[in-house]
């Protein structure tokens, strides 16, 4: 072993010790009871990379019913996070641990759930891990570094490959094909050609994996450092077509007579630019989903114009419906579905006003329609400019700067985020002498439109306008 790899091993062990001394303490409890224990997988990989995690994964020869009493009296809390799969969870201070019995798991071709069988040794357990960089372990309490499949060497080389053949690994758990793309995005790794070939050949095997597991991997990928790398791999291997077919369909054919920008590359660039605009709160899943999906309505709405142009009329409305349908199918929470679909629907709203001076009414409507999504809409709209024409890009930037200034100016005068009519429903019913019903709703909407157009009217002017509207309604 080279000096560099030996140093990496030492760094991993020392990092684990410094970050989580409770690991050795737990290892001593297991050894005293006659059992083996090792830190395994991501925490070991991250320790080699110099990263510290408060979440530790352990593997052991002890069965769950033997692990539970060893945790009692040591851990502050114990829970059955996945006892059916041989896993127990616990918390000690700020450290969260999951302890899983040595195992091997595989899917059959008709089941969405893995069939779990327990393994006999640490080496057997490491053999069933997804990738070599996750098939390293540190035994406890003796701190022996175990790396039977060259994970340390692959980590140094930035290479993602499987401990055995990729066909065997992906047959055991097809979700690992998505993990390959996710790790490529998270770690900025190259994926071994044999792994890419297996992903391509076995893409249809992903169909047996539950939508929830696919969703979770997609979210982790999108929240990674470089999601474009992972997304491109999913598209190129045909995996994206199995669960997010709208993405590869953005690769529209372009002929010499009907030119338009590459919608697929444009969407990935918008995603990159949206990520660059995120604030200190960190990765924003809703923004990233909206950036990726904002143009998925274009394939359905593309029209070739008589003079050689191409149009995508109302693609934002069509795209919003498509985004809602796809995210529901992937079992995303309702609030995520609603927010992403709304951003897709609104992403062209700014361009509909042109580059002129924004009226107060236009500003109010823009803010009202965006609601709580306004900060995200700002980022999405700015990200959607991918033109190479510097003059055009600068003009768009200045126009949006102007809009944000107008919003800020008007916000100082009015509560833009809480625009309401000057009269509420009770006042409307009292003035018109009508009971609750559709009339009240129409009157309320009329006053709201006036409020958006003119700003605050005041109770007296609002009452006068309401009487005028009511007289017109009765005449009609």
238 pLDDT band, cuts 50/70/90, is: very high
Mean pLDDT of 36-53: 87
On whether both 431 and 307 belong to a single domain, the answer is: no
On whether both 10 and 150 belong to a single domain, the answer is: yes
pLDDT of residue 354: 55
Q: For residues 188 and 177, what is the distance between their CA atoms, to the nearest angstrom?
A: 16
DSSP bridge partners of 72: none
- The verdict on residue 174 lying in a domain is no
- Strand-pair category, 55-60 with 95-101: parallel
Mean pLDDT of 89-116: 79
pLDDT of residue 247: 97
Indicate whether 252 pLDDT > 50. Answer: yes
On whether both 315 and 464 belong to a single domain, the answer is: no
- Pick the more confident residue, 81 or 414: 81
pLDDT of residue 255: 44
The answer to whether the CB of 416 falls within 8 A of the CB of 422 is no
372 pLDDT band, cuts 50/70/90, is: very high
Indicate whether 239 pLDDT > 50. Answer: yes
Entry pTM? 0.83
CATH of the domain at 103: 3.30.460.10
Indicate whether 103 pLDDT > 50. Answer: yes
On whether both 402 and 454 belong to a single domain, the answer is: no
Per-residue burial over 343-358, b = 16 or more CB atoms within 10 Å of its CB, e = otherwise: bbbbbbbbeebeeeeb
pLDDT of residue 256: 44
Percent of the chain past pLDDT 70, that is, above it, reads 90
Mean pLDDT of 234-256: 87
Residue ending a domain, among 374, 403, 418, is 418
Q: What is the pLDDT of residues 110-131, one digit of tens each?
A: 666 666 678 889 999 999 899 9
pLDDT of residue 69: 94
Mean pLDDT of 389-404: 85
Q: For residues 85 and 419, what is the distance between their CA atoms, to the nearest angstrom?
A: 52
Q: What is the pLDDT of residues 400-435, one digit of tens each?
A: 888 888 888 787 766 655 667 777 888 888 888 888
The answer to whether the CB of 110 falls within 8 A of the CB of 208 is yes
On whether both 120 and 8 belong to a single domain, the answer is: yes
- The verdict on residue 43 lying in a domain is yes
DSSP string, 255-278: BTTB----HHHHHHHHHHHHHHT-
Q: What is the pLDDT of residues 171-220, one digit of tens each?
A: 989 999 999 999 999 999 999 999 999 999 999 999 999 999 999 999 99
DSSP 417: G
Indicate whether 476 pLDDT > 70. Answer: no
Per-residue burial over 33-43, b = 16 or more CB atoms within 10 Å of its CB, e = otherwise: eebbbbbbbbb
Indicate whether 257 pLDDT > 50. Answer: no
φ/ψ (deg, to 5) at 291: -65, -40
Picking from 290, 293, 8, the residue whose alpha carbon sits closest to that of residue 156 is 8
- The verdict on residue 3 lying in a domain is yes
Q: How many CB atoms lie within 10 A of CB 54?
A: 13
On whether both 469 and 363 belong to a single domain, the answer is: no
The answer to whether the CB of 476 falls within 8 A of the CB of 442 is no
pLDDT of residue 272: 96
DSSP string, 392-413: HHHHHHHHHHHHHHHHHHHHHH
Q: For residues 195 and 200, what is the distance between their CA atoms, to the nearest angstrom?
A: 9
The number of residues in the chain equals 476
Non-local CB neighbours of 94 within 8 Å, separated by 6+ positions: 54
On whether both 457 and 370 belong to a single domain, the answer is: no
Q: What is the pLDDT of residues 283-304, one digit of tens each?
A: 999 999 999 999 999 999 888 8
On whether both 448 and 360 belong to a single domain, the answer is: no
- The verdict on residue 200 lying in a domain is no
Q: For residues 114 and 173, what is the distance between their CA atoms, to the nearest angstrom?
A: 7
pLDDT of residue 308: 65
- The verdict on residue 460 lying in a domain is yes
Residue ending a domain, among 86, 121, 154, is 154
On whether both 295 and 345 belong to a single domain, the answer is: yes
Q: Which domain holds residue 325?
A: 289-418
């Amino acid at each position: 072993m080279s000096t560099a790899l030996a140093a990496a091993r030492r760094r991993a062990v020392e990092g684990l010790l410094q970050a989580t001394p409770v690991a050795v303490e737990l290892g001593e409890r297991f050894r005293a009871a006659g059992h083996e224990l090792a830190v395994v997988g991501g925490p070991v990989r991250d320790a080699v990379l110099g990263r510290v995690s408060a979440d530790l994964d352990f593997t052991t020869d002890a069965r769950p019913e033997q692990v539970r009493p060893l945790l009692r009296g040591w851990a502050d809390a114990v829970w059955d996070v996945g006892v059916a799969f041989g896993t127990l969870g616990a918390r000690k201070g700020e450290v969260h641990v999951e302890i899983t019995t040595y195992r091997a798991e595989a899917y059959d071709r008709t089941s969405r759930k893995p069939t779990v069988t327990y393994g006999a040794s640490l080496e057997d357990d490491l053999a069933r891990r997804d990738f070599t960089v996750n098939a390293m372990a540190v035994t406890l309490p003796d701190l022996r570094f175990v790396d039977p499949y060259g994970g340390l060497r692959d980590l140094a080389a930035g290479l993602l490959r499987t401990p055995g053949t990729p066909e065997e690994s992906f047959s055991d758990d097809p979700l690992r094909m998505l993990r390959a793309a996710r790790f490529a995005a998270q770690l900025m790794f190259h994926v071994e050609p044999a792994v890419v070939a297996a992903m391509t050949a076995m893409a249809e095997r992903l169909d047996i994996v539950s939508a929830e597991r696919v969703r979770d991997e997609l979210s982790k990928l999108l929240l990674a450092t470089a999601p474009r790398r992972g997304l491109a791999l999913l598209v190129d291997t045909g995996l994206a077509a199995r669960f997010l077919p709208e993405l590869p369909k953005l690769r529209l054919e372009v002929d010499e007579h009907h030119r338009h920008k590459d919608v697929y590359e444009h969407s990935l660039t918008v995603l990159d630019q949206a990520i660059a605009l995120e604030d200190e709160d960190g990765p924003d899943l809703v923004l990233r989903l909206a950036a990726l999906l904002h143009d998925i309505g274009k394939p359905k709405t593309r029209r070739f114009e008589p003079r050689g142009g191409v149009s995508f009329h109302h693609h934002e409305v069509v795209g919003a419906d498509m985004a809602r349908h796809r995210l529901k199918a992937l079992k995303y929470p309702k609030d995520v579905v609603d927010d992403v679909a709304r951003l897709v629907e609104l992403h062209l709203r700014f361009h509909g006003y042109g580059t002129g001076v924004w009226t107060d009414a236009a500003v109010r409507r823009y803010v009202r329609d965006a609601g709580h999504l306004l900060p995200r809409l700002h980022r999405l709209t700015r990200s959607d400019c991918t033109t190479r024409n510097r003059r055009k890009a600068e003009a768009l930037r200045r126009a949006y700067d102007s809009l944000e200034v107008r919003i800020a100016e008007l916000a100082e005068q009015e509560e833009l985020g809480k625009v309401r009519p000057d009269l509420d429903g009770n006042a409307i019913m009292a003035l018109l002498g009508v009971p609750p019903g559709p009339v009240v709703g129409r009157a309320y909407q009329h006053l709201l439109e006036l409020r958006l157009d003119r700003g605050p009217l005041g109770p007296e002017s609002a009452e006068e306008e309401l009487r005028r509207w009511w007289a017109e309604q009765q005449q009609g």
